Amino acid sequence: MSDAEQPAESETHDHHDHDHEGPGYATPQAAIEEAEPEQTAYVMGLHVGQDVDAPDFLAVVDVDPDSDTYSEIVNRVQMPNKGDELHHFGWNACSSSCHMEGLERRHLVIPGQRSSRIHIVDTKERRDPELTKVIEPEEVYDHDLSAPHTVHCIPDGEILISMLGDADGDLPGGFLELNDDFEVQGRWDPPGEIEMNYDYWYQPRQNVMLSTEWAAPKTYYPGFDLDDVEDGKYGQRLNFWDWEAGTVEQTIDLGEDGLIPLEARFLHTPESTHGYVGAALSSNIIHFHESDGKYHAEPVIEFDDREHEGWDMPVPALVTDILISMDDRYLFGSNWLHGEVWMYDISDPSNPRKADSISIGGYFGDIEQVQGRDTVAGPQMLQLSLDGERLYWTTSLFSSWDNQFFPEEAENGSVMLKADVDPRTGTMSLDRDFLVDFGDLPEGPARAHEIRWPDGDCTSDVWQ
């Protein structure tokens, strides 16, 4: 199954000045200039936590405005088992492997968050992808890991997956490594380096990786409980790793400013040490950067809690996803509970400036319907076109959390929406003609989660 030719040791070269031979793009600017507008989106679809007797699936969504099936689900790849809770997924290769001649960005690696089952889907036929391999949970448990989350390819064609729990769903988590034939190689990290885990991003030219923290699977699987926060069962630390050694070099405890730090994004330029983390429960955006040989982190964007008559406490914004435009100019994010998608100008990374926002869905969104369809939950998982002109989002967070805060998401299904972005003026406008309805499927309504493009995107491509 391997489609890579491994370079000989003597052929290794200076990544600062190498020829582009493999998948992806030579630079972030090349991605902006060379990529065609997206025509197909891959979207996680799931039935976990619903009264629907069907397995989760990979949805193929038509996003070509010239197509007769624009904004429709045109195909689905159903998984062989029920109850996986498909969540985040990634490619077997991205721009970080651009020196690997013969390697293709072709296979999607799709973990089940609850099942710990890992699926491999071949997308050679972009609108007719095919499930080609399943790694069963027992192969994962053998390495005392469970609950797979973030999938990144690593430069030599292998794949690294953050794992949030041990084989019993308790702490600590760690990282699982697959080879380019999608065989489990074992743990990437020495056991015990971290306690909690969630998202991660690496910046190989700086020899650094950052990992964030959610909680033990047994804590977040049943739903959110404020007592668990008070008992210290949710994370608040950033872990900076030596990328080559696979060991933690520095840990920053964010305290109450950084409760539940989720998505981690470095700037795309490989020389940069700047980046951001969204602290969901603190409703903050944390800016981090390296100086004097150490990383520093501080909140640079803060969203205020809001009063709601149905709550006996102020409602936090709950920042659940962030992404950085390919030109490193804008930071986008979602406030799931408040119902807001926003963009900030980060030309000065330490001093973000609000550019625009759309208030839609959630508990406070101004826009309540699109195409006659109710927008219940707020914006959640985001994806931006490579040219930075189209922002898409879905509305499901996690099945048990959906059922707790927006039970209509299970009854009616999610939606996928889009905003047109003008990077020149720093503005967004909702495309009221675009709506993908995950509530209208043969087996019943489904939840929609993460989005990926066949030609790479702002949340999976890394450069050496």
Residues of the chain under the 70 pLDDT cut: 1-20
**Exposure on the CB side of residue 290, measured as CA atoms within 13 A:** 18
- As a whole number of angstroms, the distance between CA 39 and CA 405 comes to 33
What is the torsion angle, in degrees rounded to the nearest 10, for the CA atoms of residue 27, residue 29, residue 31 and residue 35?
A: -150
Phi/psi at 359 (5° precision)? -100, 110
Distances (CA, A) of 276 to 203, 273, 345, 376: 13, 10, 13, 28
pLDDT of residue 100: 82
pLDDT of residue 17: 54
The model's pTM: 0.95
Angle (CA) 49-56-263 rounded to 5° is 80
pLDDT in tens, 27-36: 999 999 999 9
- As a whole number of angstroms, the distance between CA 93 and CA 96 comes to 7
Do 279 and 260 contact (CB within 8 A), yes or no? yes
pLDDT of residue 307: 98
The SS3 of residue 367 is: strand
Tokens encoding 50:
């619903």
- As a whole number of angstroms, the distance between CA 191 and CA 441 comes to 43
Cα 409 from chain centroid (whole Å):
20
pLDDT in tens, 43-80: 999 999 999 999 999 999 999 999 999 999 999 999 99
- As a whole number of angstroms, the distance between CA 390 and CA 421 comes to 6
Cα 403 from chain centroid (whole Å):
21
pLDDT of residue 11: 39
Which one, of 300, 294, 208, 290, lies nearest residue 257 by Cα?
A: 300
- As a whole number of angstroms, the distance between CA 355 and CA 412 comes to 33
Does the bond joining 217 to the residue before it have cis omega, within 30 degrees of 0? no
pLDDT of residue 19: 65
- As a whole number of angstroms, the distance between CA 382 and CA 262 comes to 14
Which one, of 170, 169, 188, 168, lies nearest residue 178 by Cα?
A: 188
Which one, of 37, 62, 33, 6, lies nearest residue 389 by Cα?
A: 37
